[in-house]
Structure 1
C-alpha cells in the first residue's frame, strides 16, 4: 500500500469529469479505496420519500467520494501539482513537484 499523497485538509483541484476545474478542501480520505471526498464537488442528489424521521422528504444533496486520480494538490498560485516524498532531517515529507515547497499536514 502506497503512502497517501492527498490527505484530509489538503486544497485540491479536480482534473477530470463534470466538475473539472473546481477547487475544494478534502473533507475525508479513504486510502484503502483510493477515494477522497472534496467539499462542494461531486454532489449526489437523492430523492427521499417523507417519513416519520424526515416528514419533509424531497431532494437531499451530499458530497460523494471520487477517485484520488481525478484530483491534484493546488499550489499557492492555484495551479495543480503532483506530490512526491522526500526525506528531510530524517523525516518523510510531502513536497510539491512544481514548486519544491513542503506540504504541511
Structure 2
C-alpha cells in the first residue's frame, strides 16, 4: 500500500510575523510569532498568553523552579499586523508578478 503524503495547509500567519491577539486573555497584545504548531493550528506569540510552569527538580536544577512562558494561541484568535501601516489586517492570496501565490493585505491591497 502506498501512503499518501499529507498536504501542508496554508495559514494566514507564518513564523516570524507580527500579530495582534483579537480575543482571549491577552486580547489587544501584539507580538512576534515564535513557533507554529501546524497540526494543532496554533501559534506561540512572544509576550502573549503567559502561563506559570512548575518544573520538577532535576540534576541541573536541584531545587526545581517556577517559570513564566508563553502558551499557544489558536490561529483564529490572531490577526496579522500589516508591516506597512502597523495595523491589523485581513489577508488574501494573489498571484504576484512571478506567478507565485503571495499573501496581500486587504486593507492596503499590497503584498506582504
1:66 aligns with 2:73: yes
Which of 93, 96, 104 does residue 95 from structure 1 map onto?
104
Bigger-Rg structure (1/2): 2
1:3 aligns with 2:48: no
TM-score by length of 1: 0.87
Name stretches of at least 5 consecutive residues in structure 2 with no aligned partner: 1-6
- Partners of 1:56 and 1:83 in 2: how far apart? 47
> SS of the counterpart of 1:32?
helix
Equivalent residues, number: 103
Compared CA separation, residues 87 and 27, structure 1 to 2 (3 A): same
What is the CA RMSD across the aligned residues, in angstroms? 1.6
Name stretches of at least 5 consecutive residues in structure 1 with no aligned partner: none
Report the CA distance between 1:22 and its aligned residue. 0.5
1:1-105 paired onto structure 2 within 5 Å? 2-75=9-82, 76-89=84-97, 90-103=99-112
TM-score by length of 2: 0.82
